[in-house]
Amino acid sequence: MPAPPLLIRQLKLGELDNFVYLIGDPVSCEAAVVDPAWDVEAILAEARRDSLRITSVLITHHHHDHTNGVKGLLEKVRARVYVNRGDTPHVKLSKTDTIVVGARHEMRLGERVVRFLDTPGHTPGSQCFLTEGHLFTGDTLFIGACGRVDFGESSPRQMLKSLREVLLPLPDDTLVWPGHDYDDVPCARLGDVKRRNRAVQIEDPAEFERYVTGPRWPDEE
């Protein structure tokens, strides 16, 4: 008998239209929170509604609008926080709370497996999470754009490599769950993202850098 599907809960929270996610295994009732921020009580209430027990916190990148709820959440639940090694200098947590990861790391959520994808560009330690056809992209990939690359720590060339070599080769039916509500739909299949998103259509590094650093770019963090 096949396992029941994952529970995916998308919460729009905060003044920057952030998406926070709960990923739940309905068999074990274990859950991971992706980028807890803004409203810890709302996250906990959503977990309670589905009878989920939060055991993991997954950080796509260190920016404050994606992490400002981590410490508050850890005061309420016992969970391990997974941070990419490139962003660990900016995430101030105790070593007992933190698991530092790199490319190709995997984590079990009940009987499910969550794969960690190294996608630097927006920050040196940006990462995405892939499980059972669901891709949680933080600020690496939106439905109609990619994340900003004009911060001092950002790299347009790394962003282009992350998009073209890590994310775009995934199956077209992969469901993309972005880190902000910047588009007319809250999620989309990767094949649709490829057709509508100019940032993922550019192959030349110089052209990509001109495009993503131009004045028309979205003002997100």
Catalytic positions? 61, 63, 65-66, 122, 139, 180
d(CA 168, CA 200): 8
Query: Among 36, 29, 87, 90, which residue's Cα sits nearest to residue 55?
Result: 29
d(CA 169, CA 150): 25
Both tokens assigned to 191: 């094949």
d(CA 109, CA 113): 6
Residues 65-104 as b or e (16 or more Cβ within 10 Å = b): bbbbbbebbbeebebebbbbebbbebbebeeebbebbeee
